[in-house]
Amino acid sequence: MGIRKNRAQSYNEEATFGFKSIFFGALIVILWTIAYMFIVAVPQLYTMYGNSLDHNLMLILGVVSLIFMFLVTIWFYRYYQKKHPDSFQPLTKKDLLHVAGLYVGILIFKTAMSYLMGWVYGTDTTVNDEMIFGMLGDHPNILLSLNLGLSVITLAPVMEEIIFRGMISKGMFLDKYFWPAIILSSLFFSSLHLSGNLISFLLYAGIGAICFMAYWKNKNLNAAILLHFLNNLPGAILLIFGLY
């Protein structure tokens, strides 16, 4: 009887996981993705239209946008940290070395995929990158550059990693099923970025998969956030200092 009861209980837990966890987890991911798109639109819209504003208004809105960006980033990090404190562990030396190794992997992967994209499509730049760098125009103000550059190393790493790694792996798959989690996480992540062709879609999916591996090792979002930050940092520097 005890064995049958345990089997029945295990079956019920699996059924609950299968229907409730995946359905409601996916719904939460979709809702937070929509919310993130509205949030990140604030610095993006300011960057696109800031030059057309009165000088004083441009300064005021630029500062407000920066404050908004930092406050939302901190709030969202702490919000999810309070709900899942086990997902935010201090990074050890081994963790940092693991992240560094994965970062080298991203660089090699991006170089190979960019070369392949250039060979097949005649361009090695994704539509997403073209759009981001195109937002600043030819004569960007420093506040415009800061808003766009800082958004890709604050909002993007924190919110995207929590949503696409934490909420999918833990929220939908209870951190138990590697392959469904990494595949869905990578597809969601790539879908958020403008690809333009199949190779660029696979490029972003691959970056998402590598960030997922940074998370999965110890189920630690801090590692994934750091890797995402490092991946976006060169682009942010180019944006902020107008080196694009």
- Quote the pLDDT of residue 243: 65
CB 187 within 8 A of CB 110: no
- Quote the pLDDT of residue 3: 43
Q: Count the neighbouring beta carbons within 10 Å of the beta carbon of residue 210.
A: 21
Integer Cα distance of 156 and 151 in angstroms: 6
Strands in the chain per DSSP E: none
For the chain, the residue count is 244
- Quote the pLDDT of residue 1: 45
41, amino acid identity: A
The structure tokens 């970062």 sit at 103
Residue 33 CB partners (closer than 8 Å, separation 6+): 163, 188, 192
Q: Count the neighbouring beta carbons within 10 Å of the beta carbon of residue 240.
A: 18
Domain containing residue 44: 2-240
Domain count, the chain: 1
- Quote the pLDDT of residue 141: 83
Positions in the chain short of pLDDT 70: 1-17, 138-139, 243-244
